[in-house]
Structure 1
Amino acid sequence: MDAKELLRRYDAGERDFRAIILQHTDLSRVKLDSVNLSGACFYSVNLHAANLKNVNLSSTEWSDCNLLALQFWLCNLKDAIIEHCDLESARFFDCDLRGIRISLSNVSRAAFTRVNFQDAKLGGSGEDPCEFWDVIRPDGVLIPGFTFHIYHSS
């Protein structure tokens, strides 16, 4: 599916896009509300300044009770707004998350690998911790290696 097809179906009232694959497409400044994108895979998708509210971005059940995790590979989510979303078990690899605003969203067990959070506003919640690998914190500090917490208490 490409951006044009997704937006055409969204404008026609469709809201269930579970496990879709989007690659090399531009969804910058798109506004999607109350969409199910669970288990989707985004590869090299431009979501710069996208506005995603009430979107299910979590993993989805696949065959034999396996989970198909939502994945973002090499995506630009700079200045995107993610609000009231379910990001449980989502995976972000080599993504630009500078200036992203995540608020009132479930980020339990989400994993962030080689992402840049510089100037991000992170206000997600969840019972299980996120995983961080080689990330740049919102204050610009590189945190090499693995951690569950990008800010450590002294």
Structure 2
Amino acid sequence: MDGEELLRCYDAGERDFRAIILQHTDLSNVKLDSVNLSGACFYNVNLHGANLKNVNLSSTEWWDCNLLAVQFWLCNLKDAIMEHCVLESARFFDSDLRRVYTRFCNATCTNFIRVNLQGADLGGYGEEPCEFWDVIRPDGVFISGFTYHIT
């Protein structure tokens, strides 16, 4: 599926986009409210300023938090709104999350690897902590290596 097809389906009322693969796509400033993107893979996707409220970005298998987790590789999520999302087991690799807004999100087992979180408003909750590797914290300080806490 490409970005244009995703938007056509969304405009037609479809909300279930489980396990889609999107790559090299510009979805900046789009509104994808209340969609199911569990198990999706995004590679080099521009989601700058996207409205992703109430989106399910969790693993597709409730019993294994490492199976089919949503993955973002080399993505731009700068200024994206991800309020009330299910981010459980999501993986963010080498992505720009500056000023992303994640208030009221289930962030159980979410991984942030080599991401920029400068200015981000992280307000998630979860049963298991988020994991961070080589990240730029919301205050702009680089944290080398692994940690569970960035504040």
Deviation at 1:67, TM superposition (A): 1.8
Deviations 1:7-47 (A, max 9, x none): 00011111100000000000000001110000000000000
The CA distance in 1 between the partners of 2:55 and 2:102, in whole Å, is: 12
Determine the structure 1 residue equivalent to 2:21.
21
1:128 maps to amino acid: E
Show structure 1 runs of 5+ residues with no match.
none
Aligned pair in 2 of structure 1 residues 147, 80: CA closer, same or farther (>3 Å)? same
Deviation at 1:85, TM superposition (A): 0.6
Flag the structure with higher strand content: 1
Show structure 2 runs of 5+ residues with no match.
none
Paired residue total: 150
The CA distance in 2 between the partners of 1:134 and 1:66, in whole Å, is: 20
Determine the structure 1 residue equivalent to 2:110.
110
Deviations 1:80-115 (A, max 9, x none): 000111000000000000011111110010000000
2:148 maps to amino acid: F
Deviation at 1:66, TM superposition (A): 7.2
The CA distance in 1 between the partners of 2:78 and 2:10, in whole Å, is: 23
1:11 maps to amino acid: D
Q: Using structure 2 for the length normalisation, give the TM-score.
A: 0.96
The CA distance in 2 between the partners of 1:52 and 1:138, in whole Å, is: 20
Determine the structure 2 residue equivalent to 1:120.
120
Determine the structure 1 residue equivalent to 2:38.
38
Which runs of at least 4 in structure 1 moved beyond 2 Å after TM superposition?
Answer: none
The CA distance in 2 between the partners of 1:2 and 1:85, in whole Å, is: 23
Determine the structure 2 residue equivalent to 1:58.
58
Determine the structure 1 residue equivalent to 2:80.
80
1:131 maps to amino acid: E
The CA distance in 2 between the partners of 1:137 and 1:147, in whole Å, is: 11
Deviation at 1:65, TM superposition (A): 10
